[in-house]
Amino acid sequence: PPSILPKVANALTEEIESLLPALLPSQACFQTRENVRERVEALLPSRGPTTFPDGTRLRVFGSSANNFGNDAADLDMCVTFPDSSPLPAGSSGEMIEALASLLEANGMEDVVARPTARIPIVLFREPGTGLDCDISVENPLALRNTQLLHEYSRVDPRVRALAYIVKHWARARKINNASGGTLSSYAYILMVLHFLQTAAAAVPSTPDTPCYAPLVPNLQLLPPDWKGNEMDRREQMQGQRQLPRQLVTHPLEGMDVDTYFYTEPPSEEQGQPNGQRSLLREYAARNKASVGELLVAFFWYYSWEFDYRDLVLSVRLGGAMKKERKAEEDGWAVNSRLAIEDPFETWYNVTHFLKEGKHRHIRQEFARAYALCVEEAMGEGATEAGAEG
């Protein structure tokens, strides 16, 4: 980014720090959600139609479990069946219809079943808390991508800070609504992680920080016995062949999907008194950028730098790949719109529904945000920064 940016970044960092507490979830947030989960889970077996065998569980995914949620977010849940028992008869669509009747009979409000969606789902509101909830059936990849995002959130406090601010900005600008044709929260978090894996290495762009230091590594390419050393790209690619596999069967496509990623035991830096030192925290610490600097650079990167026309954004690769390759391998349409590969369902474009008009609108929002930072830097912000030297 141009060198005027550090002038505004300090003020932004301060503002972000004062705004963050209001964006983070309250103490009660998780307990409230856990109570709702338990209450709804208790409805599942025995009492309803015999669709759900004993041992059927309800599990939380999405922002209530990925460390990027807040009190206003919906509660995403999915039904999982016990390993030992055969899958219950009937399609997930039929199970969703059975679930909808069960929920309605037990006092849940505004129950809407979508049994024919790509991922069949039932939506409802829990009357006690007013929480908007949804339930899908056997969605193991969503549980895994929730855990992957959670693991990235633990790398460094700046990951969460940037992600919360970006979600806040996207909501304020009304470009965070997948059913309205803009982008899901999931897509924004993947954009944040891609930026932190790549372009964040050049932030801050001052001569005294010339080292190449991304803020987060590629967790899908780190071996379980990672020693915290910097691995170059070739080493990482070679390492990938020896990585353990963690296979999950895709509920729709039927094939096994590798969902391995590196996880670290809780560390002292992450608030665990008896934990080890965090190798991930040490990795991130080599990047000295403030959250304000990262936010300005994030806007700059998606305004001017990311090559939407030729590249698919890939957190799995810690970078990007050519659109032509994705078209050959997975039949993706070649166009100039934002394309984001799912970290596990690699054939799936997280932004496949994005139309040209919305794509352009979102890019304009990035450019507007960046332009505001520049204006601020050249106006009052520059004067203040000048006075501070």
Cα–Cα distance, 85 to 79 (Å, whole number): 14
Q: Is 134 in the site for Mg ion (CB under 5 A)?
A: no
Site for ligand GTP in 322-351 (CB under 6 A): 342, 345, 348, 350
| 142 is a contact residue toward ligand GTP (CB under 6 A) | yes
134's contact among ligand GTP, Mg ion, none, with CB below 5 to 8 A by partner kind, is none
Give the position of tokens 């929480």. 131
If one asks whether residue 146 binds ligand GTP (CB under 6 A), the answer comes out as yes
Which residues lie across from 249 on neighbouring strands?
A: 256
Contact yes or no for 114/94 (Cβ under 8 A): no
**Rule CB under 5 A: is residue 63 a binding residue for Mg ion?**
yes
Tell me, residue by residue from 14 to 53, as one string, x for binding to ligand GTP by CB under 6 A and - for no binding.
----------------------------------------
- x/- map, 72-91, Mg ion, by CB under 5 A: --x-x---------------
Distance (Å, whole) CA 189 – CA 298: 12
Order of all β-strands in the sheet with 311-314: 319-322, 311-314, 340-341
Asked whether the beta carbons of 151 and 219 are under 8 A apart, the reply is: yes
Selection from 148, 160, 156, 203 nearest residue 6 by Cα: 203
Structure tokens at 225: 């016995």
Task: Specify the stretch interacting with ligand GTP by CB under 6 A; choose among 140-148, 264-272, 275-283, 361-369.
Answer: 140-148
CB atoms within 10 A of CB 245: 9
C-beta separation of 206 from 6 below 8 A: yes
| Distance in angstroms (rounded) separating the CA atoms of residues 295 and 292 | 5
Which of the residues 49 through 68 are near ligand GTP (CB under 6 A)?
A: 61-63, 66, 68
Cβ–Cβ under 8 Å, residues 345 and 353: no
CB of 112 to ligand GTP, least distance (A): 16
Q: Which of residues 261-320 bind ligand GTP (CB under 6 A)?
A: none
Residue from 1, 25, 69, 381 binding ligand GTP (CB under 6 A): 69
Six-digit token pair at 185?
A: 């929260």
Question: Cis omega (within 30 of 0) on the bond before 204?
Answer: yes
| Residue sitting closest to ligand GTP (CB) | 62
Q: Which is nearer to Mg ion, 72 or 334 (CB)?
A: 72
CB-nearer residue toward ligand GTP: 202 or 313: 313
Nearer to ligand GTP, 185 or 314 (CB): 185
Taken in order 346, 348, 351, 355, is the CA torsion positive or negative? positive
Quick count: other Cβ atoms within 10 Å of Cβ 250?
A: 15
- Residues binding ligand GTP: number (CB under 6 A): 20
Q: Considering only residues 58, 73, 163, 257, which one is a binding residue for ligand GTP as defined by CB under 6 A?
A: 73
| Interface pick for ligand GTP out of 6, 8, 9, 76 (rule CB under 6 A) | 76
Q: Which residues bind Mg ion (CB under 5 A)?
A: 62-63, 74, 76
Interface residues toward ligand GTP, by CB under 6 A: 61-63, 66, 68-69, 73-74, 76, 141-142, 145-146, 184-186, 342, 345, 348, 350
